[in-house]
């Protein structure tokens, strides 16, 4: 089941985000960003971004989430327990629908260059790699440039 995130979901979203981010990013991002992504930073960002978050639940528990901002699918994470179960597919369909609802015919997202699992998933879902670029990730003292690939998908009305 998909629904908008609620205040009681913040802890679960932060935990899924924290573990998923570490799994897909350690060793592939600048040290400065890895140091900035503390437990407290995930807790604060999950709380601050509640209004932009859609969660997927399985048997009442948060299994994953997506955050969409304008035409960007900014965050997509699924708990390790629910990977390969269709949760990510449902979240991506929802993200694409939200981008369309925001008035866009094309969605984009950034993937850390070394995150092969995520890149493979997006490609299977019909996203196309437009090449490398530096993504400006929020850090405690301003932006931190992160080598990424820009993936895009033209959305069918």
Token digits of residue 4: 């908008």
Alpha carbons 33 and 145: distance in angstroms, whole number: 9
Residues 6+ apart with CB under 8 A from 92: 66, 73, 76, 125
* C-alpha neighbours within 13 Å on the C-beta side of residue 134: 5
Q: Is the pLDDT of residue 148 over 80?
A: yes
| Calpha distance 40→16 (Å, rounded) | 14
Please write the tens of the pLDDT for every residue from 73-100. Answer: 999 999 999 999 999 999 999 999 999 9
Tally of residues, the chain: 157
pTM score, two decimals?
0.94
Domain boundaries, the chain: 2-154
Paired tokens of 153: 């998908």
Structure confidence at residue 157 as a pLDDT band (50, 70, 90): confident
Whether pLDDT at 142 is above 80: yes
Please name the residues in contact with 94: beta carbons below 8 A apart, sequence gap of 6 or more.
2, 54, 66
Fold of the 2-154 domain: Aminopeptidase (3.40.630)
Mean pLDDT of the chain: 96
């Amino acid at each position: 089941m998909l629904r908008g995130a609620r205040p009681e979901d913040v802890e679960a979203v932060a935990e899924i985000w924290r573990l998923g981010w570490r799994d897909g990013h350690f060793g592939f991002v600048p040290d400065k960003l890895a140091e900035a992504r503390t437990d407290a930073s995930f807790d604060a960002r999950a709380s601050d971004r509640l209004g932009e978050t859609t969660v997927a639940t399985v048997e009442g528990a948060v299994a994953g989430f997506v955050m969409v901002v304008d035409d960007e699918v900014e965050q997509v994470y699924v708990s390790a327990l629910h990977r390969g179960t269709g949760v990510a597919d449902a979240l991506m369909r929802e993200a694409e629908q939200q981008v369309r609802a925001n008035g866009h015919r094309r969605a984009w997202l950034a993937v850390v260059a070394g995150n092969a699992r995520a890149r493979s998933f997006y490609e299977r879902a019909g996203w196309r790699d437009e090449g490398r670029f530096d993504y400006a990730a929020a850090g405690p003292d301003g932006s931190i440039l992160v080598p990424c690939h820009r993936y895009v998908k033209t959305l069918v009305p």
